[in-house]
Amino acid sequence: MRRYFGYAVRRIRLRTLSPAGLIAAVNDRTGASLRLAGLADRGEVGAAYVQWPDGRTGVLTRSAAPVDVIQRTGRLLAGAAAAGLPVPAYQKIVDLGTQRVIIQERLPGSPPDNVDNRLVGDLLDLVDRFTGLGDGGVDLELYLTSSGPGFCLHETLAGHNDRSRRLLARIRAIAAEQPDDRPESGNDLVHLDFHPANVLVDRGRISGLVDWDGVARADRRFALVTLSFDLSIRLRTGTECRGLDGSGVERVVEQLACAAVEDVRRWWAHMSLRQVEWTIRHGYDRAVVDWYETIAERGLDRLDSGRPISARELLD
C-alpha cells in the first residue's frame, strides 16, 4: 500500500528502483567506480544518491527514453543552467539495453514537506525564468486524438466508466477542432510535470527543479496547468498545505489567463486525460479519481464557454 494525498493506492505497477544492481551494471559497463551514498525518499519510482571516486555526488535515475532524447534534454538543461536556472547537469548517460541510467548533479535542498502561498509565488517566478529557452527542444505533444507512449492512454478512460468516457469524448471533440499537425505555440523550456514534489527547497527558497524526464518547447504557461491540478487536489484533501489557500491557486490561474483561452483549453484537455488516466490505471482510491475528474470537468466547463479558469470553481 502507498499513500497519495492521504488515500491508499491499491496497486502500483511501476517497479521501484534497485540501486545496488544498477550501480553494479553502470560500473561494469563504464568503469565509473560509483558507490551508493543513499536513497531519495520521494518520487514515484525512486532515485539513489551516488558518489564518484573524486568525491562528487550525483543522483541516479532510470529512463525508458532513447539515448539521443536524454542527450537532448541534457543540452537543454545545460543552456538553462547557463542562464542561471537551478537545474541539474547530466553527468553521465549509460545505455543498459532495456533501460537507460542517468547520473545527474545533486542539487542542494530537499522536496518541500509543505506548500504555502509563498512557495506558490516562487514557483510562478521560476516558470517565467524559462522564457525563450526552448531552442533545440521538441514541440509539445498533447495526445488528444490517440494514446501517448505509456501515458495519456485513451483506452483507460474508454474502459473505466460512463463518466470517464464522457470526459474522453470532450477531449477528442476539442482535438477535432484543430488540425492534427497544429504545433503548440511558444519557444520556452517547459517542464512537463511541474509541481512542488519536483522542486528542491533550501533555507526556504527554491534551489532546484528536478525530474526532467518530460521536457518540451512550448509556452511556459503550460506548466501552470499541472500546478493548478496539484494545488487544487492539495486543498481538497488538506495534504501538506499549511499556509496555502484559494488566493494561492488564484495567482496561478491569473497567470494562466494571460494565455489564449483556446490554448489553455487544449492544455487543460491534455492534463485532464493525463491525470485522470494515471490515477485510474494505477489504482488510486475512487475519491482521488473523482476529485481529478471534477477538476478536469470544471476547468473544461469554463474554457468551453470561452472563459478563463476560476480558482473558486475548482475548489468549491
From the candidate CATH numbers 3.30.1490, 3.90.1200, 3.80.10, 3.30.460, the one assigned to the domain spanning 117-315: 3.90.1200
The pLDDT score that the predictor gives to residue 7 is: 42
User: Does the global pTM surpass 0.95?
Assistant: no
What's the CATH fold of domain 2-105? Phosphorylase Kinase; domain 1 (3.30.200)
Instruction: Give residue 9's pLDDT band: very low, low, confident or very high (50, 70, 90).
Output: very low
Instruction: Give residue 15's pLDDT band: very low, low, confident or very high (50, 70, 90).
Output: low
The pLDDT score that the predictor gives to residue 4 is: 45
Q: In the 3-class helix/strand/coil scheme, how is the chain assigned residue by residue? A: CEEECCEEECCCCCCCCCHHHHHHHHHHHHCCCCEEEEECCCCCCCCEEEECCCCCEEEEEEECCCHHHHHHHHHHHHHHHHCCCCCCCEEEEEECCCCEEEEEECCCCECCCCCCHHHHHHHHHHHHCCCCCCCCCCECCCCCCCCCCCCCCHHHHHHHCHHHHHHHHHHHHHHHCCCCCCCCCCCEEEECCCCHHHEEEECCEEEEECCCCCEEEECCCHHHHHHHHHHHHHHHHCCCCCCCCHHHHHHHHHHHCCCCHHHHHHHHHHHHHHHHHHHHHCCECHHHHHHHHHHHHHHHHHHHCCCCCCHHHHHC
The answer, yes or no, to whether residue 1 has pLDDT greater than 60, is no
Domain map (residue ranges) of the chain? 2-105, 117-315
Q: What is the mean pLDDT of residues 117-130?
A: 98
Name the percent of the chain lying above pLDDT 70. Answer: 92
11 compared with 67, residue with greater pLDDT: 67
